[in-house]
Structure formats: C-alpha cells, structure tokens
Structure 1
Amino acid sequence: MTRQLAGELRTGSRAESVARAIERRIAEQGLVAGDLIGTKAKMREEYGVAVATMNEAVRLLSDRSVIYVRPGVKGGLFVASRPVLVRLGRKMLELSGDSVSVADCLMMRNALEPLVMEETARHVTADGLAELREIVWRMERPGVEAEEYMRLNWELHLKMADATPNQVLRHTYQSVLEYVGSRVQRVATEQAAVDVIRGARIHRALVEAIADGDPDEVRRAIAAHSALTSPPGAGD
C-alpha cells in the first residue's frame, strides 16, 4: 500500500480512495482501453482492504465507465473505453513542477470550483452532506495548524466533486486538485498566509448554503469562498 493511499484511507471513503488509486494506476502506467489492470483478489491484497470495500470500488469505477469486469480464468479488471479522460490523467502526470506555476494551478482550480459547488448543491445526498459537515467540523477544532487545515481543505473539495454526475467535470477538477494540492499547500503553509479561523468559517457557510439549497445563498457563499484566494496565497 502506498503512503498516499494509506493517508486517503484514514481520511475518506475507503472505497472511493481505492477507486482513485486505481485511476492513478491507469494514468501512471499509460493503460488504454482493453488493458488488464489486475485481478480483484490481487488488488484487494495490494491495497489491504476488505472484500466489500474492493467490490464497492469496482462498482464506482464501473459506474463511471473507467473499468469493466471480465469473469473467468483470464478475467479481471480491464480499462474501459474512456480515451479522453484517460489522456487527461496522463497529461496531468506529464506536467513537471518546474513548468507549472502555482498561479496557473490556482487559476485553473478557481475557474472550475464555482461549477463544482453549484453541482454539489444540486446533487449532494444526505450521506454526502454529512461527510462535508464532518470535514468542516474537523477544520473548526481548536488548535488546528495551517498544514492540517490545508489537508482538510483539499479533502473537502474532493468530496464536493464526488456529488456531481458530470464525469468530465468531476474527473478534470479532481485531477487538477490532486496534482496541484501538495504544491499549493506547501507554498501557502511556508508563507504563513493561511487564516485558519476565517477559512473554516467560510467553508462552514458554504456547506450550510449547499445544505439549504437556496441558489442565491449558494452564490453568495461561493463568492465569499472565492475571496479566500485574493490576494494570491490567501488561506485556501
């Protein structure tokens, strides 16, 4: 089990974390439609998860048309026909830290976030909303340091994107966020520019606006959230 996956398993849905790990594997290995990813048994052992968790991860990826399952002796998990999104994942991995600025990353993320948040407000389930509130509650705990706040911030936004049925938006946003997260988090933390209390308050208001479902409240909350990134290097 990788260190990245171990961290995700501690903080989020285990099945979703395994699903993301399999998507990363497809991109990292350059797999294309029809390629074998592995058997469920071997991958379950590799990721160290229960049978039910692995089955749920497979279901999630099948629903997203990322993989298909072939039974039998020569069966396993295979890459489904999703060339555009697979190419996107590979392109993200090809980007080097030297050629991509933090400003470029933030610009891309900020352009997508209002769409993601509006989609979250339209489609979030009761269980999904409970998970968002739990993450914000952890943000609000006394004594939360900037580094922990930033990690929770990224976890919250990844979870928001899970709500949208728009696969292109979800995959694009989550790919960008996962790629730039460590870079932006490190820069913001090193510059001591993170206002944890203000950030937690604004994220709480955003989640509650999503829960209320009032479009005007959601737009106001999105605007307040967007202000966290102005000036550059602010606490989100």
Structure 2
Amino acid sequence: MSPPDPTEPPTSVGPARRKRTDEIVDAIKRMIVEHGLGPGDRLPQERELLAQFSASKGTVREALKALEVQGLISVRTGPGGGAFIERMSERRAMSLLSNFLFAKNLSIANIYEMRKVLEPQLAASATLNIDEAGLGRLADIIRIYDHEPADAAERWNQRMAELDFHSVVAEYCDNPILAFTCRFLQRLLKDLTIAQDIYVQPEPVLRESGIRHQHDLIAAMRRRDATAASAILVEHMAEAEQHMLGLQARLRDQFLSEDEAPRRSRSRKRSA
C-alpha cells in the first residue's frame, strides 16, 4: 500500500459513538422533563425501561446508577422499590463542583477575577426584586461584623457573615445561573485553605470601607437604582480583592520568615 499523499487533506472522522449507557441516561433525563416528573415521582419499572430502550438489564442498571451518582434519582430495593426522582440540593451540586476543582490549584485571585465581573451584575438584578424583608436581613447581617471581635471565634463568624451578606443578595437575583455561580464562589472562599488562613489572622480588615459600601448598596436597592448598585459592587469587589491579596502576601512572607529562622540557626551551629 502506498503512503498517503501529504498534499491531500486528511480524511474527516465522524464523532465517536457514544456509550449506550450515556444515551439512556440522556433519554431518561428528557423523560423526566417531558413528563413533568418531580421529587418523589417514580420512574417506569425496570422491565419497562428494558423494553423502551431495547437494552440489556446490565446497561439499564448502569444508567440508573449513573443518574443516582449524579443525585438525580435514588434506587430503592424491596417491596415498593424502584427508581425515584430526587431533588438535587444546591449543597450537593456545589460539593460535586468543588470535587472537580479540588486539584486545580485555585487561588484567591482566580475567585476574585470572577467575583469582580459577576457580583455587580448580581447586585443589579437583585435590586429589582428585593423587598423590605430582604433589606432588613442585609442590615441584620452587617450588625454581626460592625464592631471589633471579642475573640477568635467571633472573628471567624464575622468573616463568614461578610460572605453571607452577598449570599442573601443572590437570593433575590432573577438569573438562577448567576445566583448559583456567585454563591459557589462565596463558598469557595469559605473552603479555600489560604482564605481560611487569612480569616483566622488577627489582621485589620477594611471594616469601615466595606460596611460603607454595603450600606450604600442597601440604599441603592431601596430606591431601585440598579446602576448605582452595580457601581458600588465594582468598587467593593476591587477593594476586597486588593485587601485579600495583600493579606495573602503578608501571610506568605510571615511563613517564609518563620521557615528561614531555623535554617539560619542550623547554619550558625554548623559554622561554630
């Protein structure tokens, strides 16, 4: 056989054939939507699924297992058992995403790069929907951290409440994807090791400036000024990023200094 002519374009290859299991998973998802099934509803019995998809028992069970791992259904055995629709909780969805990002070496800068773009949009959307009860909740949260903490436990609770403020704002956003993403970024900050190291440090925080921004946001929301709300969050997120990165650099320098001291001591002993 002669070698291929390098001047000829390569032969196009079609997409790889999907696994039958994946096709059945997608078909069951469509079935759930098309039939309006909700949490607690039962999927067709296994024998019906076998006939509907012309698939083997092992393939159908593998598909059901995949849906169960995704948190979309639960499979119960025994009398009255079967596959039942589950409500995917936001906590579970975030846990799955966190697991995916676990080995990605996320940084504070990565998170704030997203927050600076999304949080202003979130605030603008929430401004058009928030009510007096929501504004009251935001004011109550500010009272958690509008004073110096008495101890380390209160300091930690204050840091978490500062993030919870933005989580409440997200509740009033009419874009569920935007709201979820912002809450997820807030959770990443709570879970990120370097951020946790920063939050427990007795370092001064930009309390006065941050609280002023948040009170200004509440005022803008009360008068339904979405443009002002967005502008306030642009400034607030930029300032928060600068502050967090500064604390991170200071903490890193502190760790390096503490690590260097024993080495200098060992070096002096060897030269003595």
TM superposition score normalised by structure 1: 0.58
Does the residue aligned with 1:139 lie in a helix, a strand or coil? coil
Equivalent residue number for residue 175 of structure 2? 166
Deviation of residue 172 (structure 1)?
1.8
Q: Is 1:92 aligned with 2:98?
A: yes
Cα distance in 1 for residues equivalent to 2:175 and 2:160 = 25
Equivalent residue number for residue 189 of structure 2? 180
Does the residue aligned with 1:35 lie in a helix, a strand or coil? strand
Equivalent residue number for residue 79 of structure 1? 86
Equivalent residue number for residue 163 of structure 2? 154
Which structure 2 segments of 5+ residues have no match? 1-67, 248-272
Instruction: Give the letter aligned to residue 31 of structure 1.
Output: Q
Deviation of residue 165 (structure 1)?
2.6
Equivalent residue number for residue 72 of structure 2? 33
Deviation of residue 193 (structure 1)?
5.4
Cα distance in 2 for residues equivalent to 1:155 and 1:222 = 15
Q: Which whole-Å deviations, capped at 9, do the CAs of 1:117-174 have from their partners, x for residues lacking one?
A: 1111111122212111111122224547653332111111111111113211122221
Instruction: Give the letter aligned to residue 176 of structure 1.
Output: L
Cα distance in 2 for residues equivalent to 1:77 and 1:207 = 43
Cα distance in 2 for residues equivalent to 1:132 and 1:76 = 41
Root-mean-square deviation over aligned CA pairs = 3.5
Equivalent residue number for residue 139 of structure 1? 145
Q: Residue 88 and residue 149 in structure 1: after superposition, are their counterparts in 2 closer, same or farther (change >3 A)?
A: closer
Q: Percent identity?
A: 17
Native 8 Å contact 1:121 1:218 kept in 2:
yes
Equivalent residue number for residue 205 of structure 2? 194
Cα distance in 2 for residues equivalent to 1:119 and 1:108 = 17
Cα distance in 2 for residues equivalent to 1:203 and 1:90 = 31
Q: Which whole-Å deviations, capped at 9, do the CAs of 1:68-94 have from their partners, x for residues lacking one?
A: xxxxx6599733599xxx877523322
Native 8 Å contact 2:146 2:211 kept in 1:
yes
Equivalent residue in structure 2 for 1:105, among 101, 104, 111: 111
Does the residue aligned with 1:120 lie in a helix, a strand or coil? helix
Equivalent residue in structure 2 for 1:119, among 125, 144, 152: 125
Q: Residue 79 and residue 194 in structure 1: after superposition, are their counterparts in 2 closer, same or farther (change >3 A)?
A: same
Q: Residue 172 and residue 203 in structure 1: after superposition, are their counterparts in 2 closer, same or farther (change >3 A)?
A: same
Cα distance in 1 for residues equivalent to 2:213 and 2:84 = 41
Equivalent residue in structure 1 for 2:235, among 216, 224, 231: 224
- 5 Å-filtered alignment, 1:49-88, equals 78-79=85-86
TM superposition score normalised by structure 2: 0.51
Deviation of residue 222 (structure 1)?
2.1
Which structure 1 segments of 5+ residues have no match? 1-28, 38-72
How many residue pairs align between the two structures?
170
